[in-house]
Structure 1
Amino acid sequence: MDKIKMTTPLVEMDGDEMTRILWKMIKDELLEPFIELNTEYYDLGLEYRNETDDQVTIDSAEATKKYGVAVKCATITPNAARMDEYNLKEMWKSPNGTIRAILDGTVFRAPIIVKGIEPNVKTWTKPITLARHAYGDVYKGTEMKIPGAGKVELVYTAADGTETRELVHEFDGPGIVQGVHNVEKSIRSFAHSCFKYALDTKQDLWFATKDTISKKYDHTFKDIFQEIYDADYAEAFEAAGLEYFYTLIDDAVA
């Protein structure tokens, strides 16, 4: 039997520990006997990420932007214990977070339906796909340990030098603080991805935030989704018989 030839390279992101063994088995037994594999290889094992000061992670993401498709194996995001175990230069950030930030990626987690394998809930014929915005937030967060009493503020300095301040917390003793951000460009990209995915897969789209508590951060997501739906997707959803539904995240989880 002639092997299938690949015209466009696949970006191959190798990973850590058992995933390296499993990925090699998948290639050796399931792919290479049938396909002339054409891959661009990147070693995202923790040792090589450390050796390259994590440049290999950035390079793999840029290659994915170039070729449009990649396979990534599981990787270790180091904690303090891993620092000593691997003799790391620093506590490198999540490779997934780095890659998603470069790709402005949206994560869709969809069930894989395999003929002949019965689902646990046999009457469940419409699987749920979970979408998550994969830019900013804790993956790009800035953190501080507060040593003692003092004031923490958010400060925005505009291009003209004017400042806007918001009090985060007045500490009367030690504590911790974290700052997170997002950008409208990425939120809009996320919204378009969700609406297009729903139309492609013929699935209703539910969107949820905690806008009752986060009246600026989460509420911005809600407003942008509604604006884009009304302007670009309402007619297509109606024609396809699909629903866009917003609800509080508490209700969605329940």
Structure 2
Amino acid sequence: MEKIRMKTPLVELDGDEMTRVLWPLIKEKLILPFIDLKVEYYDLGIQNRDRTDDRVTVEAAEAIIKYGVGVKNATITPNADRVVEYKLKKQWKSPNGTIRAMLDGTVFRKPIMVKNVQPSVRSWVKPIVVGRHAYGDVYRNAELYVEAGCKAELVVTDEHGVEKRELIHDFAEAGVIQGMHNTDASIASFARSCFEYSLDQKVDCWFATKDTISKIYDQRFKNIFEEIFNLEYKDKFKASGIEFFYTLIDDVVARIMKHEGGILWACKNYDGDVMSDMVASSFGSLAMMTSVLVSPKGYFEYEAAHGTVQRHYYKHLKGEKTSTNAVALIFAWTGALAKRGELDGIPELILFAQKLEKAVVQTIESGVMTGDLAAICSPPALRVVYSEEFLDEIAKNI
């Protein structure tokens, strides 16, 4: 069979630990037999990021800007223990945070639904898409440990050297301090990305902040969303029969548990990080969630929404087999291939991506699955398989 030819490379961002083990197997078994794959490869494994002083992460983001579409494996964001484990120079920042800051835009995360895995929230019968703002907040923070007896102030200096000061806290005892920021332009991009997604998918858009407490920071998000909606999208939403709904974050968390789904839940950066994991877990597994960063400048980065599966990696190093779910990694590849096919006018590439996704779903619905899904599926799994066996089963279904 003649392989499908690509015109433009995908930017491939490799990762760490168990997902790094699975990544080449996915290509070998599910992609390379069918596609003459073109990639520009960047190793974002923690040791290479350390060797390059994290320059490789910046170069990878620049390549996505150049070529338009990237596909990313899961990566380590090191804490103090990881610095010791991998003998790193320092606690490098999240590569996802660096890439998202350079590309801007919004991360959309959507559950991959299969018939034999029912959501643990019984009212959820349709997917809940989490639209996560991809810039700023805690992921671009500045933070310090503060000694006792210090005074912390928020200081803003304008272009003429005039300062505005706001007391944060007088530290009678030692403590910690954190500063966060965002920009009007990035918040506006976030709002437009969410409204465009809702119109494209014909689903309601819910947005929530804590503007009753954060009367400047969070309220700025609320005001920009409302201004853009009223000026640019109100009539479009009405014509499409969908709505934009704003409430407080604690209110939407309570409401969402009784909702049927089929909505876009727009979240600030940290809220989206936490809530997308909750949604994914309810729909079955963190490995059953698609994730794509959509930049208003026309860049797309497809990724796995989960981590590097550290526990399974340690078992792998001991020579033990693991039943690691590779679905999100596979769907990162299919999403990127389909988008590349769309941008380059290669319908065969789009069709292949759709068929590979269908083969994944058919494999699970036939009763063959990894251990995470077998623990929650109904009816019971017919076969619980190891990671490589799962990929082989999908290859048969293609």
- TM-score, with length taken from structure 2: 0.62
Contact 2:119/2:125 (8 A) holds in 1: no
2:244 equivalent in structure 1? 244
Residue 176 of structure 2 is aligned to residue 179 of structure 1: no
Q: Distance in 1 between matches of 2:148 and 2:173?
A: 4
1:199 equivalent in structure 2? 199
Instruction: Give the structure with the higher percent helix.
Output: 2
1:194-214 Cα offsets, whole Å, 9 max, x none, are: 000011111100000000000
Structure 1 stretch displaced more, 30-39 or 66-75: 66-75
Match of 1:165, SS? strand
1:110-136 Cα offsets, whole Å, 9 max, x none, are: 11235x555347874431101111111
- With over 3 angstroms needed to count, the CA separation of the structure-2 counterparts of 1:123 and 1:6, relative to structure 1, is farther
1:64 equivalent in structure 2? 64
Residue 111 of structure 2 is aligned to residue 111 of structure 1: yes
Q: Distance in 1 between matches of 2:168 and 2:6?
A: 53
1:130-149 to 2 correspondence within 5 Å? 130-149=130-149
1:25 equivalent in structure 2? 25
Q: Distance in 2 between matches of 1:219 and 1:22?
A: 43
1:18-167 to 2 correspondence within 5 Å? 18-114=18-114, 117-120=116-119, 124-167=124-167
Match of 2:197, SS? helix
Match of 2:128, SS? coil
Residue 10 of structure 2 is aligned to residue 10 of structure 1: yes
Query: 2:31 is aligned with what amino acid?
Result: L
Q: Distance in 1 between matches of 2:155 and 2:123?
A: 53
Q: In the TM superposition, what is the alpha-carbon distance from 1:54 to its structure 2 partner?
A: 0.3
Match of 1:231, SS? helix
Q: In the TM superposition, what is the alpha-carbon distance from 1:100 to its structure 2 partner?
A: 0.4
- With over 3 angstroms needed to count, the CA separation of the structure-2 counterparts of 1:7 and 1:117, relative to structure 1, is farther
- TM-score, with length taken from structure 1: 0.96
Q: Distance in 1 between matches of 2:244 and 2:123?
A: 24
1:225 equivalent in structure 2? 225
Give % identity. Answer: 60
Runs (4+) of structure 1 exceeding 6 A deviation are none
Q: Distance in 2 between matches of 1:242 and 1:4?
A: 39
1:145-196 Cα offsets, whole Å, 9 max, x none, are: 0111121000000001111000001110111000000011100000000000
Contact 2:108/2:132 (8 A) holds in 1: yes
Which structure 2 residue ranges, 5 or more long, are not aligned?
255-398
Q: Distance in 1 between matches of 2:86 and 2:105?
A: 29
Residue 215 of structure 2 is aligned to residue 215 of structure 1: yes
Query: 2:118 is aligned with what amino acid?
Result: P
Which structure 1 residue ranges, 5 or more long, are not aligned?
none
Contact 2:12/2:42 (8 A) holds in 1: yes
Contact 2:155/2:165 (8 A) holds in 1: yes
Match of 1:119, SS? coil
Q: Distance in 1 between matches of 2:178 and 2:112?
A: 36
Contact 2:105/2:193 (8 A) holds in 1: no
